[in-house]
Structure 1
Amino acid sequence: MNVEQVIASLNNVLWGDGQVLIYVLLFAGFWFSVKLKFVQFLNFRHMFSVMRNSTKGTDEGGENGSGISSLQALFIGLSARVGTGNLAGVAVAISLGGSGAIFWMWVIALLGMATGFAESVLGQLYKVNDDHKEYRGGPAYYIQKGLNQRWLAILFSLCLFLGYGFSFSAMQANTIADSLNHAFNIPSMYSGAVITILAGLIVLGGLKRIARFAELIVPFMGIAFILVAVAITLMNISAVPAMLYDIITSAFGLQEAGAGMLGAAIKNGIQRGLYSNEAGAGSVPHAAASARPVPNHPVTQGYVQMLGVFLDTIVLCTCTAVIILLADINIGGEMEGIRLTQNAITYHLGESGVYFVSAAISLFAFTSVVANYAYAESNLHFFKLDNKVGRTIYTVMYLAMVFWGSSASLKQVWSMADVALGLMTLVNVVAIVQLTPTIVALMEDYNAKRKLENSIDVNMEFKSDDIKFQGRLHKDIWSK
């Protein structure tokens, strides 16, 4: 059995006939929604109010470590989330699952907001200081410190390196190269070389340069894309009711001769929704852990990263879906990626549309390439490889995969990414469900302090003796 057959077999278990990940993600979404008392709905407004202090929180380092701001952590999270999943991934979901796949994208996003909240809270609580006095954290850290299961932490880290360190960045580079080739006939090898060089210049500057890059690019590209989608919607406003009706009826297989598409709609909607918003995958806790939130409480980052899930899928993925579904173009049953989105925007905006979407996907995907590096690099500390030699070896391998991915086949790269994401998610969900008592205790502590704050002057800052938590925390970060 060769490598491609092994990857295909694993994908079949995780996403195909076995559909293990679909059941796992639905369970996690419902589990944390109930345990956290539907925080994504009942505290929806508070999620935005937390962002008022999001630009504060950085420090220059000290005995407790140096953190980036909550806003920068949000933008790093969005940098990784907002990429091919929003443009190419939505197109894949629609081409394979029909318009009904969009409804199931919404469902997994709304449920995933609670899952994303839970894992981000844990990322903050169990974070550590590295040798550069920067915060590091993520599933490998809370699995080892919270559950004392080092073997499971190592398994997650290996999947993380396979996924975010290598496969996902290769896939993002593949999408950029394909888009530029389609729009400008630029050979993939040339665009791959440029992508690799630019990525190297940014990631070699460390986490803070990556954070500054994300803070500069993400708002610009997100707002520009939303404005174009709103303009296209207004241009086709009479067709919107029929489009919404088609999404709902297709989602439940109610259309004539459409019952057979029900399974495909659910599978592709959930699969591509997860790939886009990453809720439960264990990636975003790395960004959440790197922040020093205001107020300095782990739950603050839960709200910040929950907002990231909402913006990524409910807002940006919906924009792409609307652009595609309002276009009078042929959507076949074969896997289509970024070119379907390009063709849809060209239909609406003329030939200039292909240039816009090429620019958009280049920015969307490139920010993901950079953020993916930061996620995997944060786990070098876990293996005691957070040194010049370890970082150099990882960086060279990462950049080599970026260059290779620009010329690889679409199906080959997506298959590798799906396996890595599936294994990461499986390990992470098993871990965070076991850590539910700590998550709930943190939420109750935050809510109690928030109630007191409304009546008297109270310090919202979290201390390690405020709750009974599982495992152990890194010394000095949450000092008593």
Structure 2
Amino acid sequence: MFNLIVGNINNLLWGNGQLLIYILVFAGFWFSYQLRFVQFFHFRHMFSVMKNSSKGDKAGISSFQALCTGLSARVGTGNLAGVSVAISLGGAGAIFWMWVIAFLGMATGFAESVLGQLYKVKDEHGEYRGGPAYYIQMGLNKRWLAIAFALCLFLGYGFSFSAMQANTITDALNHALNIPTLYSGLVITVLAGVIVAGGFRGIARFAELVVPFMGIAYILAALLITAMNIELVPSLLLDIFSSAFGLQEAGAGALGAAIKNGIQRGLYSNEAGAGSVPHASASASPTPNHPVAQGYVQMLGVFLDTMVLCTCTAFIILLAGIPMSGEMEGIRLTQDAMTAHIGDGGVYFVAAAISLFAFTSVVANYAYAESNLHLFKLDNKVGRSVYTFCYLAMVLWGANASLNQVWAMADMALGLMTLVNIFAIMQLTPTIKALFKNYNDKRARQQNMEFTEQDINFQGKLEDKVWSKE
């Protein structure tokens, strides 16, 4: 019965109905237009905002820590296993549609992260918390919808996503080293428990240390493999573009599979519009102290995740020239591709990469769901203990579950979250535009960039003393 319900919902959202694909593409175009194609015309400024991003304060983590926390959740199974799933089911053309949804998603990610910053609150420890549930409740005054989003978030990031990341790690280690999934699952669960005990700041510090190291190492490996096969790159790019538009023998069926799997796995990887990254954005004290500054930071996160890291995996797989069955293939396809390039060491390299990538996602997912305990007045010792126990239990379960089961549940949770979040940020478009205009007007006039709640007319209400002049 559970599998039937999950299957029917996913069929509506992702399958024959493809509801989310239309919604996400529309939202991407909508925010690109409303924000004057910020991802294109403000591309250089997106990087310049990072110059002073290492400063935080007692209430918020730094913008760089928020970026790394967002990347630690984004950069995981979607970048290695998700890309292989997209290619195995949708062909090389799925990569082009991953790029499209990432380019559009940069504007959507900007919009939701700006809102996460504006409507942030302080918890009982005086630290910033926020996310879609908060801007739905405070900006739209729809508590019932905020609760619905929070429940979907707990199902997704609190439980099923972490289970899916653990599943990928244990499968990769089993394939590379024949380690039983139960043993590796226990180790993952214990390590995750130790790190999440440090709360959001502890997770942010862990992400700040691990994410840059693992990202640079993976990019360098992909660049080396591309250089070794440079003569194949022109035909590879031709294959991606021709497959993306159904110009090969398979025709319309292949085109539909490429679009569906590229967009679905692209969203799962970069999370733009899903409502996850605003939790990291809300926890930051950006420099300059303006909500839009954090929008640029998280827009960069979408770019790095999909346009850089997912492309690295795609090149590794497609340049290997290994046969694919046409059925869903996960992390083992990436491992086999790496083995084709560098020999037996490839399977160990990917196992190590996915273990780091996915483990950082496991702990960042905890932080996102934990941010919503404040919404239910459960950000206390008892509430956190109960949530932590359930989260760790799901990590251990996921380590031993089947691939199809775990991905199906993750897809359903992500889809439901995205539906609610896109509805909310579309409703809050006037506030997003007002913030964007205020930031760029101050920048053009070289004024003090600090934001106060008197600067714009915003929807709903803000938390006392977060953005006031005092």
Partner of 1:439: 432
Match of 1:141 among 134, 137, 145: 134
Q: Shift of the alpha carbon at 1:238?
A: 0.3
Question: Which deviates more, 256-265 or 134-143?
Answer: 256-265
Match of 1:426 among 412, 419, 425: 419
Matched, 1:188 2:188: no
Match of 2:340 among 340, 347, 369: 347
Partner of 1:463: 452
Matched, 1:291 2:260: no
How many Å separate the matches in 1 of 2:249 and 2:422?
37
Matched, 1:21 2:20: yes
- Aligned-partner residue type, residue 24 of structure 1: I
Partner of 1:474: 463
How many Å separate the matches in 2 of 1:231 and 1:126?
44
- Aligned-partner residue type, residue 342 of structure 2: L
Partner of 1:82: 75
- Aligned-partner residue type, residue 471 of structure 1: G
How many Å separate the matches in 2 of 1:223 and 1:173?
23
Question: Which deviates more, 257-266 or 164-173?
Answer: 257-266
Matched, 1:59 2:53: no
How many Å separate the matches in 2 of 1:124 and 1:212?
20
Once the two structures are superposed, what CA deviation does each residue of 1:171-201 show, in whole Å capped at 9, x if it has no partner?
0000000000000000000000000000000
State percent identity of aligned pairs: 76
Tell me the number of residue pairs that the alignment of Structure 1 and Structure 2 aligns: 469
Once the two structures are superposed, what CA deviation does each residue of 1:13-45 show, in whole Å capped at 9, x if it has no partner?
000000000000001000000000000000000
SS at the partner of 1:425? helix
SS at the partner of 1:459? coil
Matched, 1:39 2:38: yes
Once the two structures are superposed, what CA deviation does each residue of 1:39-59 show, in whole Å capped at 9, x if it has no partner?
000000000000001001x11
Give the TM-score normalised by structure 1: 0.97
How many Å separate the matches in 2 of 1:284 and 1:328?
35
List 4+ stretches of structure 1 deviating above 3 A.
none
How many Å separate the matches in 1 of 2:437 and 2:358?
38
Once the two structures are superposed, what CA deviation does each residue of 1:329-350 show, in whole Å capped at 9, x if it has no partner?
1112100000000000000010
Matched, 1:105 2:98: yes
SS at the partner of 1:326? helix
Q: Shift of the alpha carbon at 1:260?
A: 1.9
How many Å separate the matches in 2 of 1:237 and 1:440?
44
How many Å separate the matches in 2 of 1:356 and 1:384?
44
Matched, 1:131 2:131: no
* Consecutive unaligned residues in structure 2, runs of 5 or more: none
Match of 1:239 among 219, 232, 238: 232
Partner of 1:63: none
Once the two structures are superposed, what CA deviation does each residue of 1:267-324 show, in whole Å capped at 9, x if it has no partner?
0000000000000000000000000000000000000000000000000000000000
How many Å separate the matches in 2 of 1:407 and 1:348?
30
Q: Shift of the alpha carbon at 1:256?
A: 1.9
Tell me how large the CA RMSD over aligned residues is: 0.5
Match of 2:89 among 77, 96, 102: 96
How many Å separate the matches in 1 of 2:32 and 2:62?
27
How many Å separate the matches in 1 of 2:218 and 2:456?
43
How many Å separate the matches in 2 of 1:73 and 1:213?
11
How many Å separate the matches in 2 of 1:184 and 1:115?
40
Partner of 1:278: 271
How many Å separate the matches in 1 of 2:355 and 2:455?
46
Once the two structures are superposed, what CA deviation does each residue of 1:423-452 show, in whole Å capped at 9, x if it has no partner?
000000000000000000000000000001
SS at the partner of 1:238? helix
- Aligned-partner residue type, residue 185 of structure 1: N
Partner of 1:12: 11
- Aligned-partner residue type, residue 300 of structure 1: A
How many Å separate the matches in 1 of 2:452 and 2:114?
14
SS at the partner of 1:330? coil
How many Å separate the matches in 2 of 1:257 and 1:297?
50
How many Å separate the matches in 1 of 2:134 and 2:112?
12
Q: Shift of the alpha carbon at 1:258?
A: 3.6
- Superposition pairs for residues 298-337 of structure 1, below 5 Å? 298-337=291-330
Partner of 1:386: 379
How many Å separate the matches in 1 of 2:272 and 2:204?
20
Q: Shift of the alpha carbon at 1:257?
A: 2.7
Once the two structures are superposed, what CA deviation does each residue of 1:348-379 show, in whole Å capped at 9, x if it has no partner?
01000110000000000000000000000000
Partner of 1:167: 160
Once the two structures are superposed, what CA deviation does each residue of 1:37-82 show, in whole Å capped at 9, x if it has no partner?
00000000000000001001x113xxxxx10000000000000000
Partner of 2:29: 30
Once the two structures are superposed, what CA deviation does each residue of 1:135-155 show, in whole Å capped at 9, x if it has no partner?
000000000000000111000
Q: Shift of the alpha carbon at 1:328?
A: 2.1
Give the TM-score normalised by structure 2: 0.99
- Aligned-partner residue type, residue 42 of structure 1: F
How many Å separate the matches in 1 of 2:357 and 2:266?
16
- Superposition pairs for residues 214-229 of structure 1, below 5 Å? 214-229=207-222
Partner of 2:191: 198
- Aligned-partner residue type, residue 449 of structure 2: M
Once the two structures are superposed, what CA deviation does each residue of 1:368-418 show, in whole Å capped at 9, x if it has no partner?
000000000000000100011000000000000000000000000000000
How many Å separate the matches in 2 of 1:6 and 1:297?
43
* Consecutive unaligned residues in structure 1, runs of 5 or more: 61-65
Matched, 1:363 2:356: yes
Q: Shift of the alpha carbon at 1:478?
A: 0.2
- Aligned-partner residue type, residue 59 of structure 1: D
